[in-house]
Chains A and B, each alone.
Chain A
Amino acid sequence: MTGAQAAGLTGREADAAAASAVKAMQADGRHAEARERYAELVGRHQRRATRIAFHYMRDAAEADEAVQDAFVKAYSHLASFREELPFEVWFTRILINGCLDRIKARTRRERWIAPMPEGPGGERDFAERMPGRGPSPEEQLLARERREALSRALARLPERQRSVFMLSHFEGCTSREVSVLTGLNESTVRVHLFRAIRKLRTLLATSGDSGTSVEKRRVIS
């Protein structure tokens, strides 16, 4: 149990307290203590940050690096953090900017470098080929196809619509919070969210009409 939890603080209050403490320790030159306290913040936001980074990057390794970069950057620039803004919002903004920079760099790279072929079976990881006790292969295939369809549909959304949809729906942010994170007007956020849902509905309905390969096989048999 962390000190904040013991004191019965809400997440945001605990973040603010921890961020202030880390800032003060950094100023005093007590770096080891500052890092120890910062671990509390990292632990609280790491999973959410990884999720957001993955939604942007669609690549686990790149999302991993983006999260690391964001936490390192936030720690080294904590002196510029203002307490009136929630740490979560400030940090998420750093993370999103980092992800957008990485996407730009990746786009530039992909323009010049041919993509590497995947393994013979198309698998990316040895662990994926190991038999498990989870869902059946058919269920796994269906889930994978569904995720791929969703991923393709999300990729076809304009960048702002995608960001707004992910932050609002996947991360549960209000339009006010999304507005602070993205720098967009609150009413613009609502419009983007509405359009994103409409477009996703159309895109996924179209891919649903065409039917997945497994569903087609089922109909035939």
Chain B
Amino acid sequence: MSFLDKLRMSGHLDDAALAAIWTDGAAEGRQPSHPHLQVCANCRSRFASFASWLTDLRIDTTAEVDDLFPPERLAAQHGQIFRRLEAAERPARVIAFPKFTQPLTSRSSHGSRWIAAAAAAGLIAGVGVGQMMDIRRSFSGPIAPAGQVQTASIRPERTEIATAGANVGEEAFLSDIDMTLSRPALPELRALDEFTPRAGDRAR
């Protein structure tokens, strides 16, 4: 054992040294070992706890993945891989453009044709009858609406009064307009009004 080794072994191993020992072992795929660990129980125990911390990390991560990927999920993944492989090997399927033995228009049934013909005939007949009715009405002269005739026959006095009232109101309204127009609204416009011929004067 060299002096340097003796000197190194006199002090305890620090965290970095423990990591280096573990790394060397892991890199070579063997159990980590160091001469100091064989003679120093304290460092041996610290190294054991260091190694167990790393083992715990591995166990934790492995457990996490195992929880996330149970055998059923792995089986589904396996199935999916082989479905994809099969699909990749199968030549691309070309779908033929649809080709009909008969044109699409000739596919319609006879029933629908008859329905269409009946609808057209009904329409023509309806228009024809409507025209004939119009012609008959024009020959028989204007016909008063039925409601109006009935009202007149039931209440003749009321209609006359209403008509007379309407005439009186109309005359009063027209005379009001006449008076308003004959009287100049503003004294300033009176001179202008004198010069201007009136509609009533013109009529006379």
Which A residues contact B (CB, under 8 angstroms)?
31, 35, 38-39, 42-43, 46-47, 50-51, 54-55, 60, 64, 67-68, 71-72, 75-76, 143, 146-147, 150, 168-170, 172, 174-175, 186, 189-190, 193-194, 197-198, 200-201
Contacts and interface: CB of A to CB of B under 8 A. Distances in A.
Contacts of A190: 23-24, 27
B114 to A, nearest CB: 57
A151 B183 CA distance: 104
A194 B23 contact: yes
Nearest to A38: B85
A72 B19 contact: no
B58 A169 contact: yes
A55 B61 contact: yes
Given A55-B65, A169-B57, 13 more contacts: A35-B86, A42-B81, A42-B82, A51-B65, A54-B69, A55-B61, A64-B69, A64-B77, A143-B60, A143-B63, A146-B60, A170-B62, A201-B53
A72 B74 contact: no
Interface in B61-89: 61-65, 68-69, 73-74, 77-78, 80-82, 84-86, 88-89
- Most-contacted residue by chain A among B27, B60, B63 (CB, 10 A): B27
A188 to B, nearest CB: 11
A146 B63 CA distance: 12
B26 interface: yes
B62 to A, nearest CB: 7
Contacts, number: 95
B135 interface: no
A156 to B, nearest CB: 14
Contact of B61 (A35, A150, A174): A150
Given A169-B26, A169-B54, A68 B81 contact: yes
Given A42-B81, A47-B74, A54 B68 contact: yes
Given A47-B74, A175-B28, A198-B16, A76 B65 contact: no
Given A54-B65, A147-B60, A147-B61, A174 B81 contact: no
Contacts of A197: 19, 22-23, 54
Contacts of B27: 168, 174-175, 186, 189-190, 193
A39 B80 CA distance: 12
Given A51-B65, A150-B60, A193 B88 contact: no
Nearest to B76: A64
Contacts of A186: 27
Given A39-B82, A146-B60, A201-B15, A168 B65 contact: no
B147 interface: no
B119 interface: no
7 contacts: A54-B69, A64-B73, A67-B81, A169-B57, A174-B29, A190-B27, A198-B15
Interface string B130-152: 00000000000000000000000
A169 B19 CA distance: 13
A72 B62 contact: no
A68 B28 contact: no
A150 B57 contact: yes
- Most-contacted residue by chain A among B65, B73, B74, B80 (CB, 10 A): B65
B20 interface: yes
